[in-house]
Amino acid sequence: MNKIGLSSYTEPMLSQLMAQLGQPAFRARQIFRWLHEKRAVSFAEMTDQPKALLAELERRFFIETLEVRRRQQSRDGTVKYLLRLPDANCIETVWMRYSYGNTVCVSTQVGCRMGCRFCASTQGGRVRNLTAGEIAGEIYAAARDQGERVSHIVLMGIGEPLDNFDNVMDFLSIISSPDGANIGMRNISLSTCGLVPMIEKLAERRLGLTLSVSLHAPTNELRSAMMPVNDAYPVERLIRACRAYRETTGRRVSFEYSMVNGVNDSPETARRLARLLAGMDAHVNLIPINPVDGSPYSASDAANIRRFQTMLTQLGVNATVRRRLGADISAACGQLRRDDAGPAAAETPERPRGEFSQNA
Ligand code: SAH
């Protein structure tokens, strides 16, 4: 029998399981706390639980723990981890220090099938989705290694979180629980390349997290050239969904805009972007693109980025330039995993890169 990852169970799921096993209801909360507050890595540690229950859990379940395989330390305190999953696949997790606390950037899939032309994470396609317990395990592995608490989470690592919707929802339920890591939705940002139906579904959940949309260009011509997903969900549909998200949730939407030299950084493009986002109280994060092998793009220079920011601000759009952490370990997201030569896991991509746009 294949064992099931118990750390992927939300509290309601654990309650159901305990009922099925004929256990009193309070066991669900106790076990959840062992997994997500005390972060046990084996059932044997759960010393206040009945032996028979532990034996039954041991027989049917396992605890999803991640191991640090590689660690890259930046002078500014940023640490990039290559973490090994229970099936030997690897993903990346980043630890960042800010004045307000420690932020962990988590991956949500092994690889990605969105095909963005500037992104290293998508170059080998998607291998599989991460489970809720594995995503939580990224945070626990980083916190354990650093010996510190995590206050903020960004879902901006490898993978498209809304392409793994159900597991990501379970992860959010687990990580925000007061019986576990207790990280509030206000301290969580989820970044998407723009899967419109999933943005609509997320809005319905009214979670209170920050939705961050990777826009990168204000016109279909520019955006489709950078991101195949735009062929399925063009800019006007995407922005309509973002405006609706703001209406439904009352939360302002944040936009990521990676600046590419000579591609999306002209004054005319700034004006178009300002028109597109007019009146939606948006926040734009300008990021110099991180050049990756095999991509034709290079970063806009600092002066150009400042000029773009000033124009947006003058046109009434709130814009900031993202502080670059970990510049000296600047491997763009996905590069550490891609370049890892370690013990090969079953890495047959399910689908070729960019396939998404053709099938959607
Ligand atoms: N799939 C999600 C989240 C993961 S990517 C998304 O697309 O939003 C996190 C962010 O990094 C996205 O804004 C993505 O466009 C950006 N990104 C990816 N590769 C980059 C690169 N080489 N330089 C700058 N930003 C990059």
Q: Is residue 338 part of a domain?
A: no
User: Is 92 a residue of the active site?
Assistant: yes
Return the residue whose CA atom lies nearest to atom 11 of ligand 1. Answer: 156
Return the residue whose CA atom lies nearest to atom 7 of ligand 1. Answer: 193
Residues 167 and 274 in one domain: yes
Residue 47 Cα to ligand 1 middle (Å): 43
Return the residue whose CA atom lies nearest to atom 20 of ligand 1. Answer: 119
Residues 58 and 72 in one domain: no
Q: Does residue 347 register a pLDDT over 60?
A: no
Residue 137 Cα to ligand 1 middle (Å): 22
The pLDDT > 90 percentage for the chain reads: 85
Q: Is residue 354 part of a domain?
A: no
Q: Rounded distance, CA 65 to CA 80, Å? A: 18
Residues 171 and 23 in one domain: no
- Tell me what the mean pLDDT of segment 11-16 comes to: 98
Ligand 1 atom closest to residue 213's alpha carbon, by position in its atom list? 8
Residue 7 Cα to ligand 1 middle (Å): 28
Residues 185 and 281 in one domain: yes
Residues 164 and 289 in one domain: yes
Residues 102 and 153 in one domain: yes
pLDDT in tens, 106-140: 999 999 999 999 999 999 999 999 999 999 999 99
> Which CATH number does the domain housing residue 244 bear?
3.20.20.70
Q: How many CB atoms lie within 10 A of CB 351?
A: 14
**Which of 103, 107, 116 has most ligand 1 atoms within 8 Å of CB, for mutation?**
116
**Which of 195, 333, 353, 357 has most ligand 1 atoms within 8 Å of CB, for mutation?**
333
Q: What is the pLDDT of residue 295?
A: 85
Which residue in the list 92, 134, 138, 160 is annotated as catalytic?
92
Q: Is residue 258 part of a domain?
A: yes
- Tell me what the mean pLDDT of segment 257-265 comes to: 97
User: Is 90 a residue of the active site?
Assistant: no
Instruction: Indicate if the alpha-carbon torsion angle 295, 158, 285, 270 is positive or negative.
Output: positive
β-bridge pairing 126-129 and 90-98: unpaired
Residues 58 and 76 in one domain: no
Residue 344 Cα to ligand 1 middle (Å): 26
Give residue 11's identity as a one-letter amino acid code: E
Q: Is residue 116 part of a domain?
A: yes
Q: Is residue 248 part of a domain?
A: yes
Residues 200 and 116 in one domain: yes
Residues 82 and 193 in one domain: yes
Q: Give the angle subtended at the CA of 97 by the CAs of 320 and 74, to the nearest 5°.
A: 100
The pLDDT > 70 percentage for the chain reads: 91
Q: Is residue 295 part of a domain?
A: yes
Q: Is residue 351 part of a domain?
A: no
Residues 216 and 267 in one domain: yes
Q: Rounded distance, CA 156 to CA 161, Å? A: 8
- What's the domain count of the chain? 2
Residue 174 Cα to ligand 1 middle (Å): 25
> What is the domain range of residue 227?
67-329
Domain final residue, candidates 20, 46, 62: 62
> Which CATH number does the domain housing residue 49 bear?
1.10.150.530
Residues 121 and 182 in one domain: yes
List beta partners, residue 286: 257, 321
Residues 72 and 11 in one domain: no
pLDDT in tens, 284-331: 999 999 988 888 899 999 999 999 999 999 999 999 998 766 767 754
Task: List, as one string, the DSSP characters of 185-237.
Answer: GGGEEEEES--HHHHHHHHHH---PEEEEE---SSHHHHHHH-THHHHS-HHH
pLDDT in tens, 45-99: 999 999 999 999 999 999 999 999 999 999 888 999 999 999 999 999 999 999 9
Q: What is the pLDDT of residue 332?
A: 54
Pocket residues: Cβ below 6 A from ligand 1:
116, 118-119, 156, 160, 191-193, 214, 256, 258, 287, 289-290, 292, 332-333
Q: Is residue 190 part of a domain?
A: yes
Non-local (6+) Cβ contacts of 23 within 8 A are: 53
